[in-house]
Amino acid sequence: MPFEINLEEGERLIANLSFVVSGNSEAFHIAITNHAIFLPRKKFFALKDPTYCERVPLNQIVNTKIKKLNPFFLWTLALLMVVGGAVITELMMLPVLRGEGGQLSGYPPAVALVGLVIPFIARRRYGLSISMVDESFLWKPPLLVDKTSRTAVELFLTQAAGAFRQAGINHTDERENSLSDSLAEVKTGAYPVAQAYIESSKNESLLRPCYHCGKPLKISHWEDWNGFLFRCPHCEQIHGKPWNAPVTLLASVLLNAFSFFCTLRWRQALPLFMGFLLLSGIGSFVLDRGQLSETLKLVLLGMAFLGPLAINSVLLLQHEIALKKASAIRT
């Protein structure tokens, strides 16, 4: 059911806050008035929608806190993913490198790479804790990698903190840095700005509606086919097409260094392509001389073979995250 707020006579709404990661995910809602806090709840047993809105009077609230979340579980999960992904990748590659054949998959190295990213996104993660007379409530934001979404979490928590203080609730904030410091870290120029559609202009570009605001943008055939990311000149959001993960990872294996031209614009792809050509030439020269041990040969071949797969796995993760940035909404 929707998050409905029913105010009593004389009750004043201070803030109605929502945090949304993407259009397909469930939003988190909270409302603060001068008499109560409205919290989202879920029923254990329900035939239809289990969510409902609970009204908690302020005299039942002990305190609220912006709480630093313990990263121990995520660190443990990251370690298991890195070790497991690396071991499975090595076991998968050994028969192929020995010429015995076998099946290849891009998922084990992708799992290891995601495991390497987790400690960085768990390093400074805060949640919203509400202590009541007979229970406690804790909201943990989803794991977010991009700085824009992490800043949206900071903004949401700051708005909630301000509303709690305005309502006269005892509030504690454990964050080390202010929101302005986080906003200063956001890079807005990471992607080129798409051309806005003008009826008088004539060229061979395609017209595509913005992924967020729906206004027409002019995009070249090659960039549209690859789904490269742009910044919309109208809404300032990121526009592009989601990538197919299995197809991207398979292309990284089959096309090797040529696959960079499908995941990067040519100015970024060309240096990587030339670097892997140079690595292949050096590797071929060294292998022909026959002065390396079998272990070093496997390492060198593994770098040449898995390098594009590893790089494109990271690019794939960044691409999908950029399309699904979080936002904090105040009404």
What is the 3-state secondary structure of 78-133? HHHHHHHHHHHHHHHHHHHHCCCCCCCCCHHHHHHHHHHHHHHHHCCCEEEEEEEC
Q: Which residue has the higher pLDDT, 71 or 102?
A: 71
| pLDDT per position as a tens digit, 165-218 | 999 999 998 886 544 444 444 444 467 888 877 654 555 678 888 766 778 888
Q: Which residue has the higher pLDDT, 43 or 25?
A: 43
Above pLDDT 90, what percent of the chain?
A: 20
Sign (positive or negative) of CA dihedral 240, 241, 242, 244: negative
**Which amino acid, one-letter code, is at 181?**
D
**Cβ neighbours of residue 145 under 8 Å, at least 6 residues apart?**
117, 120, 121, 317, 318, 321
Confidence of residue 107 (pLDDT cuts 50, 70, 90): confident
Residue 292: per-residue pLDDT: 64
**Which amino acid, one-letter code, is at 154?**
E
Euclidean distance between CA atoms 138 and 150, whole angstroms = 18
Confidence of residue 137 (pLDDT cuts 50, 70, 90): very high
Residue 64: per-residue pLDDT: 95
Whether 15 shows a pLDDT value over 90: the answer reads yes
> Going from the N-terminus, what domains does the chain have, and what CATH number goes with each?
13-69+125-186 (2.30.29), 195-241 (no CATH)
Confidence of residue 25 (pLDDT cuts 50, 70, 90): low
Mean pLDDT of the chain: 80
Beta sheet of 195-196, edge-to-edge order: 195-196, 216-219, 206-209
| pLDDT per position as a tens digit, 218-228 | 888 888 888 88
The token duo for 98 is: 């020995």
* Residue 153 β-bridge partners: none
* Residue 277 β-bridge partners: none
Euclidean distance between CA atoms 53 and 30, whole angstroms = 9
Distance between start and end Cα atoms, the chain: 19
| pLDDT per position as a tens digit, 246-284 | 888 888 878 888 999 989 988 888 988 888 888 777 777
Over residues 280-304, the mean pLDDT reads 70
Burial of 285 from C-beta contacts in 10 A (0-12 / 13-18 / 19+): exposed
Residue 178: per-residue pLDDT: 46
**Cβ neighbours of residue 220 under 8 Å, at least 6 residues apart?**
205, 206
What does DSSP assign to residue 24?
A: T
Over residues 75-97, the mean pLDDT reads 82
